[in-house]
Structure 1
């Protein structure tokens, strides 16, 4: 089949690798003029590295930092718990890796044959026919294929054209984050450090090559100020080391600001010849670091279901969505526990030190375990 993928982010590149390996002809259309080179780090949990391996992209640990431990502290510095990720890797056969987003994107793109990627192509419409589907572009051109996959993020043009509805909605929280070279010992180890306060959270994750991915989460609504590094220093004064040392070492130029958003996960993700994956279907807050991993699960399962399909794709697309929706929705709900509006019952519950961080991070580990079991014992694709 000829498959048209909209979006050259992690999901679009990953599913293209899988589908090309399965014998399909694939073209990716990206509205930007080049691959994205911004962003901080991505935690690719065991479910994500397993999915990448199944898609033909192995060895990502060589481009990032293998994580062996996950430690969670309270605002006062008391240890809540520590998870042995090395034991998880040994048991499940797939590591947890922290990697710069730009490095993972470049690696996925480099694995594609020449001529697959098409930049500067803004999709404005999706037109379905009984025997084909067409993408319409801003310059008026149309391109036809057998299937369209919307991998174009939270503002998905494919989702808007096929399903309608509004964009992802803010949750009431935001992240201030960065990826910087650091001399701090945490940047050169293999342990993630998460610290949970009553009204704020932060984390530090070694990302390889002396790089440190750091983030600060706090309640935020449209119209609230976007904090500077100086304001973050005041807000996190007195937090356990090395938080203050980190903030003393960075500048506003290092700081990225990302409001948390969440999409309603629809029951059906497309039309007779269209479907969605990743943030286009289920954008979620970063609380359990699963957004990219859920995207990779989508790419793996969609590739599996489309393998060998040459006729009517609709039954296969709907089967893929039925299998993915419950899990994606569950992970999204879990992530939303730390990204709720202020003064809701969940937010009041989060004031008990460490409860929320513990709940969401343990859920992440369980998610990796469950999905890796699914990769080892995959559901047969429909005939």
Structure 2
């Protein structure tokens, strides 16, 4: 397997990522343990913008019931830990895909620098603006949902940065969250309606908009600057029936980009990667059959999570309002939590095919 990356080096920017029980389970199955490098989350608390408690989930109980913890980790650390399990010679930077050509027995990828790569299979994991998706499937790009996030990852003296509790605060036309990320880092985000062409808010405008919200919102906004502020519009892809061609498939945002309302985009990507390895690493068969089987297995659950994220984003409500519901919701919508203990797919595993390579 060879990995070709658009960027010139591993990404060191970005905020934090909440890796839920399904994500940490998938990572463990793939040989990556992020617990020593992140902050375990033990409680999830949701308030209204007037300070009234909506609900609270004991994540320790979720960990016990599902068998894997919830961990908050800086994006750069997660990327570094995943990259560390690959031999360095398999990572190729500065290689932006511009063309994909599938043949009966191989696939060829052309890069912007004029170089090419040939393999038995191509896995397009190139994000919401996926060139692989466009080349193989065509179709429309991801569409904006009408909301956006202003977020950052900063060192903070606020007590919430040193605890193990996620705090979500929901208003009628805005939403914010604060998540401890380890080493005194606090991941914070503010969601508001936003349309293409609208001006992007500054920290001063966020301070005005969120004036009077429950502590520690105003204290946080008083401590950050525009240099700390990241911005991204929420988008959603239509999840296609088929995710690739005879020698290709997709995973992650390339196939099911979704708004962050249920914090599952990265976790669904990890589940994609886990399930795909089950098919390609242990099941014998024609490449196209293996890829379509992976897609048939993943699509129903990824589609449900994507629809839940869109509904939650539009309604500014959460489907996970009670502890009793949360583990069941996560397990039901998670491939790795529900399947890793045994399934028709896993029981049918046979030795891997020799000689298969992936571009």
TM, length-normalised to structure 1: 0.86
Task: Kindly indicate whether the alpha-carbon contact (under 8 Å) linking 1:151 and 1:276 is maintained by their aligned counterparts in 2.
Answer: yes
| Distance across 2 between alignment mates of 1:143 and 1:364 | 44
* Residue from 220, 227, 232 that aligns with 2:206: 232
| Distance across 2 between alignment mates of 1:90 and 1:308 | 29
Task: Kindly indicate whether the alpha-carbon contact (under 8 Å) linking 2:55 and 2:322 is maintained by their aligned counterparts in 1.
Answer: no
Task: Kindly indicate whether the alpha-carbon contact (under 8 Å) linking 1:66 and 1:98 is maintained by their aligned counterparts in 2.
Answer: yes
Task: Kindly indicate whether the alpha-carbon contact (under 8 Å) linking 1:288 and 1:361 is maintained by their aligned counterparts in 2.
Answer: no
| Distance across 2 between alignment mates of 1:254 and 1:377 | 45
Please say which of residues 86-95 and 184-193 is displaced more in the overlay. 86-95
Match of 2:191 in 1: 217
Does residue 340 of structure 2 align to residue 375 of structure 1?
Answer: yes
Judging changes above 3 Å, is the alpha-carbon distance between structure 1 residues 152 and 364 closer, same or farther for their aligned structure 2 residues? Answer: farther
| Distance across 1 between alignment mates of 2:149 and 2:326 | 19
Give the drift of 1:138: 2.0
| Distance across 1 between alignment mates of 2:93 and 2:148 | 30
* Residue from 252, 255, 259 that aligns with 1:281: 255
Give the drift of 1:91: 1.7
Q: For structure 1, list consecutive stretches of 5 or more residues without a partner in the other structure.
A: 1-25, 341-346, 351-355
| Distance across 1 between alignment mates of 2:55 and 2:85 | 39
Does residue 59 of structure 2 align to residue 85 of structure 1?
Answer: yes
Match of 1:300 in 2: 274
Give the drift of 1:56: 1.0
Task: Kindly indicate whether the alpha-carbon contact (under 8 Å) linking 2:14 and 2:75 is maintained by their aligned counterparts in 1.
Answer: yes
Please say which of residues 363-372 and 275-284 is displaced more in the overlay. 363-372
- Within a 5 Å distance, the mapping from 1:137-148 to structure 2 comes to 137-148=111-122
Please say which of residues 232-241 and 302-311 is displaced more in the overlay. 302-311
Judging changes above 3 Å, is the alpha-carbon distance between structure 1 residues 286 and 361 closer, same or farther for their aligned structure 2 residues? Answer: farther
Does residue 140 of structure 2 align to residue 175 of structure 1?
Answer: no
Judging changes above 3 Å, is the alpha-carbon distance between structure 1 residues 130 and 33 closer, same or farther for their aligned structure 2 residues? Answer: same
Match of 1:15 in 2: none
| Distance across 2 between alignment mates of 1:364 and 1:263 | 25
Aligned length: 344
Deviations 1:298-342 (A, max 9, x none): 0000000112356521111001001111111110111112433xx
Match of 1:110 in 2: 84
Give the drift of 1:106: 0.6
- Within a 5 Å distance, the mapping from 1:20-59 to structure 2 comes to 26-58=1-33
Deviations 1:100-158 (A, max 9, x none): 00000011111111210001111111111111111112233322110000000000111
Give the drift of 1:361: 8.8
Deviations 1:11-47 (A, max 9, x none): xxxxxxxxxxxxxxx1001111111111100000000
Task: Kindly indicate whether the alpha-carbon contact (under 8 Å) linking 2:154 and 2:185 is maintained by their aligned counterparts in 1.
Answer: yes
Judging changes above 3 Å, is the alpha-carbon distance between structure 1 residues 163 and 287 closer, same or farther for their aligned structure 2 residues? Answer: same
Deviations 1:44-89 (A, max 9, x none): 000000000111112x111010000000001110101110000111
| Distance across 2 between alignment mates of 1:169 and 1:318 | 25
Q: For structure 2, list consecutive stretches of 5 or more residues without a partner in the other structure.
A: 351-359
Give the drift of 1:369: 2.3
Task: Kindly indicate whether the alpha-carbon contact (under 8 Å) linking 1:31 and 1:120 is maintained by their aligned counterparts in 2.
Answer: yes
Judging changes above 3 Å, is the alpha-carbon distance between structure 1 residues 328 and 360 closer, same or farther for their aligned structure 2 residues? Answer: farther
Give the drift of 1:366: 3.7
- Within a 5 Å distance, the mapping from 1:1-383 to structure 2 comes to 26-58=1-33, 60-309=34-283, 312-340=286-314, 347=315, 350=316, 356-357=317-318, 359=320, 365-370=327-332, 371=334, 372-380=337-345
Task: Kindly indicate whether the alpha-carbon contact (under 8 Å) linking 2:98 and 2:110 is maintained by their aligned counterparts in 1.
Answer: yes
TM, length-normalised to structure 2: 0.92
| Distance across 2 between alignment mates of 1:361 and 1:103 | 31
Give the drift of 1:297: 0.4
Task: Calculate the aligned-residue CA RMSD, in Å.
Answer: 1.6
| Distance across 2 between alignment mates of 1:249 and 1:358 | 32
Judging changes above 3 Å, is the alpha-carbon distance between structure 1 residues 174 and 149 closer, same or farther for their aligned structure 2 residues? Answer: same
| Distance across 2 between alignment mates of 1:320 and 1:128 | 19
Task: Kindly indicate whether the alpha-carbon contact (under 8 Å) linking 2:56 and 2:322 is maintained by their aligned counterparts in 1.
Answer: no
